[in-house]
Amino acid sequence: MSRGGGGLRTRVKTARGRTAQSTRWLERQLNDPYVKRAKAEGYRSRAAYKLLELDERFALLKGATRVVDLGIAPGGWSQVVRRKLPKAAVVGIDLLPVDPIDGVTILQMDFMDDAAPDRLLAALGGAPDLVLSDMAANTVGHPQTDALRTMALVETAHAFAADVLAPGGTFVAKVFAGGADSALVAEMKRNFATVKHAKPPASRKASSEWYVVAQGFKGRAG
Ligand SMILES: C[S@@+](CC[C@H](N)C(=O)[O-])C[C@H]1O[C@@H](n2cnc3c(N)ncnc32)[C@H](O)[C@@H]1O
């Protein structure tokens, strides 16, 4: 039986050993138009469309020459950056291994490691004009812990961006539950000309994921 509007819908039979939750995930994945598009267009993740849509709205990629991709795995965002900006230097970091992407330096390490900023900058050969973070902490199922860990990632990514971005640069980060907290937004507003929240259409409605987009870096304080 097909469910939903037009088109054929794939139903997944509940198999022994598969939980109802993972059956739902698999079914959603098999019927997701962005997953199909990603496969057809050669992107490693449906997340690629979130960056493409954010770029359509905010022209994030325009003129960027050095780009940092925090939480790069499996690589969809960096693929977008390379396709749009074939001459840009790109470096990505992730806890997970990532298959090589032509023209992208990939570091497999924890961004929270004290050595990460220097390693990223060394790979880039100069100050980035775009810092992207799609990092999400692995959830442990305890909402307060999950929220705190994600906030720590966003705050550290922002501190890194504010330390290394070239003047005029852009910082984009995934945030949860409606947005970055107010203290962080206030700090971002001191550092950037504009700070906006956006939920691109490719971001699932059921997910509390949003993006904060900060443009026009004012330069390092002090
Ligand atoms: C949603 S995925 C990124 C998808 C990616 N933008 C794409 O288009 O393919 C989030 C990634 O953040 C990574 N991550 C989470 N915490 C991290 C950390 N402390 N250091 C480095 N990567 C981290 C995860 O391993 C995961 O691969």
Flag residues of the chain having pLDDT under 50: 1-6
Helices 143-164 and 116-124, interaxial angle, to 10°? 40
pTM: 0.89
HEC string for 33-77: HHHHHHHHHCCCCCHHHHHHHHHHHHCCCCCCCEEEEECCCCCHH
Q: Which of 131, 175, 185, 128 is nearest to 154 (CA)?
A: 175
CATH class of the domain at 45-217? alpha beta
pLDDT value, residue 148 = 83
> 164-184, pLDDT tens digit by residue?
999 999 999 999 876 668 899
Domain segments of the chain: what residues?
14-43, 45-217
**Choosing from 174, 189, 205, 218, which is the catalytic residue?**
174
71 lines ligand 1 (CB under 6 A): yes
Among 82, 113, 134, 153, the mutation site with the greatest number of ligand 1 atoms within 8 A of its Cβ is 134
pLDDT value, residue 2 = 38
pLDDT value, residue 1 = 36
116 lines ligand 1 (CB under 6 A): no
Q: Which atom of ligand 1 is nearest to the CA of 110?
A: 20
Is 55 assigned to a binding site? no
pLDDT value, residue 178 = 61
Is 110 assigned to a binding site? yes
pLDDT value, residue 197 = 94
Structure tokens at 108: 């497999």
111 lines ligand 1 (CB under 6 A): yes
List own/partner pairs for 147-151 with CB under 8 A and 24 or more apart: 147/176, 147/177, 150/175, 150/176, 151/181, 151/184
Closest residue to atom 24 of ligand 1, CA basis? 71
In DSSP terms, 10 is beta-bridged to none
174 belongs to the catalytic site:
yes
112 lines ligand 1 (CB under 6 A): yes
Is 146 assigned to a binding site? no
